Amino acid sequence: MGLSLAQRLSAQGARVTVFERESQAGGLTTYHDYEHFWWDRFYHVILSSDTHLIQYLQEIGLGDRLRWSAARAGLYAKGRFYPVSTTLDLLRFPLVGIIGKLRLARTIVACNRIRDWRELETVSVEEWLLRMCGQRTYEAFWKPLLLARLGAHYKRVSAVFIWSYITRLFSTRDTTAQRNQLGYVAGGYRTVIERLESLVQAAGGTIRLNTPVQAIESDAHAGITIKTNGCREHYDKVIWTSPIDGGSPLATQGLVSVGASSGPVEYLGVICPVLVTRRPLLPYYTLNLADSDVPFTGVIGMSSIVSTEETAGYYLTYFPKYVPSGDPEFQLPDETITQRFFQGARRLFPDLHDSDIVGLHLNKAAKVQPLQVLDYSKRVPRVTTRHQDFFVLNTSQFVNSTLNNNAVIRAVNEFVRQHRLSFEPAGDRFASALPAVSRP
């Protein structure tokens, strides 16, 4: 969000400084060194319906780097793998009877017809799906999907989640091939991040890595002062894209006021082992799990859509587990997490041998996505900026969509249109996303 916002503003004539506390830009979309190749730290995919993201990639000159594949989905239950990609797969799915299959189809049709998501915000996703499909279909089909996306806290999430998930996913249906088309950028998100960095820098902007913001203060007359590494700098405007709540220093320093809500925004984090192997583990991009003994909430077979030419001939599989951001599991030693992971992986893939494994990489993120609980739109912090040169844009404001990069680009586009920020030709500097902008 911060980097794309910085690029948008620099393209309009602003000189932007991006402050990034990590050693790489890109946030959750950043990349990772898998020893033999570079690829995304966490799994990402582009849907054919992601019009905002696809158009943006074309604008920054990466349209010709898009690659598309027909993706498959699967479900693991009772010790077996079941394909659930096509209409025929669902008709053959043995764990749901004919009535359940008809109700499953009705649920998907109903989601695509709903236009006002607010009517779903007061009912839990579990209650709504049980009402639509019945117990057997819910347990066999929907519950594994909820676990894969939300972890054990799915019971507290509203039906808005499944509505936004279904409407986005089923809009990718290729009516000719009757298959879901999923895409990626050649080189992964490293390609995108490096392109954005180069565009910002070519426009006179600066990207400061390993630079956490220590304080943000309003100036007496206009502009904002940023403190980093003990240094203080003046900027004309600042946009904050990290989470914010009533306990944030921004609120105590008078830059923003956070209105009362029905409760704090809760975030899900992810603990994600990534396995590099010499052979593919499964033919699916997504594998939902109906087995509570497996110590992760889903399996992502990235190499089912990404060419092995991108990964040095090896195969890449992600094993995410979604837990609350403050979960004690984040504090477990890596060795403990790794041991549990291999126990679960060999339960799923009993023919996985040490000789098949090239490497295991453990990636974590404490705050991945807000948990869209009941009446989430009422929980979203009512942030009011109290300074004309300070702005806030972050993912907690996504009340009717799942967290994905298409939604991020859409939010950035709407922010730029809404505020219509303008810049003097003399070269005012603009800072974004923990970014800021200074006067020379």
Q: What is the DSSP string of 348-376?
A: H-TT--GGGEEEEEEEEEEEEEE--BTTH
Local confidence band at 146 (pLDDT 50, 70, 90 cut-offs)? confident
What is the mean pLDDT of the segment spanning 180-197? 94
Mean pLDDT across the chain: 83
Quick one: pLDDT band at residue 166, thresholds 50, 70, 90? Answer: confident
Looking at the predicted structure, is the pLDDT value of residue 437 above 80?
Answer: no
State both tokens at 261: 């809500």
Q: For residue 50, which amino acid is it?
A: D
- pLDDT of residue 285 exceeding 80, the answer is yes
Q: Which residues contact 386 (CB under 8 A, 6 or more apart)?
A: 254, 255, 256, 257
Query: In terms of Cα–Cα distance, which of 310, 321, 316, 300 is closest to 358?
Result: 316
Q: List the helix and strand counts (H, then E) for the chain.
A: 13, 25
Contact of 270 with 42, CB cutoff 8 Å: yes
**Residue 142 reports pLDDT greater than 50:** yes
Q: Angle at Cα 51 formed by Cα 50 and Cα 53, nearest 5°?
A: 70
The kind and range of the H/E element at 422 are none
What is the rounded CA–CA span in Å between residue 196 and residue 5? 10
* Residue found by looking up tokens 């089909």 in the block: 141
Q: What is the pLDDT of residues 198-237, one digit of tens each?
A: 999 999 999 999 998 888 888 777 888 888 888 889 999 8
